[in-house]
Amino acid sequence: MIDLSCQDCNVIFLNIDLLRADYVGLIRPDYNITPNIDSFFENSIIFEDVSSVAGVTAISNMATLMAVDGAFTYALLNETYQDVPPKYQLPYKYLKLFSSHLPTIAEVLNAEGYETTNLNHGWYSGKQMLLNRGFDRYWGSGEVGATENIPAKVLTKAKETLQKETINQNKFFLLVRSEDLRSLPYRYPTSRSRINDLRVHYKKTNPGYYDIYYQETPKGELAVKWPSSAKVNWMSDSTIMEYQNLSQALYTQQLAFIDEELGKIFSAIQDSSLLNKTIIVLYANHGDGLYDNKVPNHGVSYQSCVSVPLLIRHPKIQKPLHIQIPVSLIDLVPTIYEMLNVNPPKGIDGISLVETIKKGAYDRPYMYGMDKESQYIRVGKMKLIVWIDMTKELYNVATDPHEQKNLVYQNPELVDSLYAIMINHELEQMDRALSLLKNE
């Protein structure tokens, strides 16, 4: 029997936002874009089918770190912000409520004597979301009032932090979150070779870096902010195909850069004494459309946006363990709690994956996710997406991972069954969120 207990082990979370599962070599062996990730996590627990609860950071990141349901998180944010994703900072009157009823992994581990550090990149993942809770040390880039938004800066600081931790005898939790894969713009070193295309615009805004723009607005102009629509229905099919090829090439170019930067962190860990006493996790809050299903960015329920990598390097695991059972990303934090022998908070929705790793058992009857424009329900290999205009799409993601063949008309009874589960779930979680806020 596999022993996954690792009491008092350090924990490192590497959250590489927008990293799609199908671009990681350990999950898709025919790709060789992430050699440093693949090498470092080769003898690890490799989850091949993980779904985030949203295609946007605000919902997914919060839900993941608190191990709570996506619909609950959406409803909670919808009441405490002006809208979702938020325009305004979460009112601090909710700080005590959140910490009391919805503690983050940082708060739980801090109470267990862990020194906690957050190196955060991005507005929707840090203090504006009250996700600085529980950290002894907090550094934010790309936030309100932040003075630095330098490409790969958070990864550089992670390497420096880990070098210091090698002489620190206290157990620690380090959360590193990078948005360097976020386009509009990509920020890319001028010293590296790059794609030359008439549609790609390189603007030198930081010393040694380009800002890369390439997307169009409906008027055919250069897009410098997120398009208002999820899909680029104004483009012809041939133009969408051209942009799909270009966006995938630019994403691959950027990912190769980020993988090299991650390699420096991995080297710092391997050159230290941390490996035999540290659980190291690499994951993403969500992926990116890259013009799959006519979606250029993210924020929807397609696999391109919600299928994410989850790799766990564990001191007691010395060979690859591939887990093919579909699981939810909100199960990550309870899994770490069980490995550390830490009692989880009451009322969480995540399920520890320790038994899944050991025995292939998984008790979640369905997986649910929600964004502003769509929501999904997944039972086994079948996945129903329902848009805000009530358009429905049904896919067999085992045989059709890119969701090209809509089966909604061939399976009306299954669609009705899944839709009933979806609506009941959404209403239950909305009531739960409102009840919590009423008692605040």
Contact 308, 52 (CB under 8 A): yes
Judged by DSSP in three states, 124 sits in helix
Nearest to 197 by CA among 180, 219, 212: 212
Residue 153, pLDDT score: 86
Task: For the chain, state the CA radius of gyration.
Answer: 21
The vertex-127 CA angle with 121 and 130, nearest 5°, equals 130
Helices (H), 223-365: 237-270, 303-306, 332-340, 354-359
For residue 257, the model assigns a pLDDT of 96
Residue identified by tokens 């009032």 is: 145
Stated length of the chain? 440
Cα(298)–Cα(20) distance, integer angstroms: 11
CA-CA distance, 431 to 269, in Å (whole number)? 45
pLDDT at site 162: 86
User: CA-to-CA distance for 358 and 335, rounded, in angstroms?
Assistant: 12
Q: pLDDT at position 142, please?
A: 81
Strand ranges across the sheet with 186-189? 186-189, 209-213, 201-206
Residue 348 CB coordination number (10 Å): 19
**Contact, 76 vs 433, CB < 8 A?**
yes
Q: What's the token pair of residue 410?
A: 């061939």
What pLDDT is recorded for position 18?
97
Measure the CA–CA gap between 320 and 357, rounded to whole angstroms: 12
Residue in 383, 427, 393 with CA at minimum distance from that of residue 69: 427
List the chain pLDDT tens, one digit each, 440 residues: 789 999 999 999 999 999 999 999 999 988 899 999 999 999 999 999 999 999 999 999 999 999 999 999 999 988 886 544 455 566 677 888 889 999 999 999 999 999 999 999 998 899 888 899 999 999 988 887 676 667 788 898 898 888 776 667 789 999 999 999 998 899 999 999 999 998 999 998 878 899 999 998 888 889 988 776 688 989 999 999 999 999 999 999 999 999 999 999 999 999 888 999 999 999 999 999 999 999 999 999 999 999 999 999 999 999 999 999 999 999 999 999 999 999 999 999 999 999 999 999 999 999 999 998 999 999 999 999 999 999 999 999 999 999 999 999 999 999 999 999 999 999 999 999 999 988 76
Instruction: State the Cα–Cα distance between residues 304 and 23, nearest whole angstrom.
Output: 10
Domains of the chain: 10-183+241-364 (3.40.720.10)
Token pair in block for residue 96: 């005590």
What is the maximum span of the chain, computed from C-alpha positions, in angstroms?
Answer: 62
278: helix, strand or coil:
strand
Sequence-separated (6 or more) residues with CB below 8 Å from residue 439: none
Q: What is the pLDDT of residue 207?
A: 82
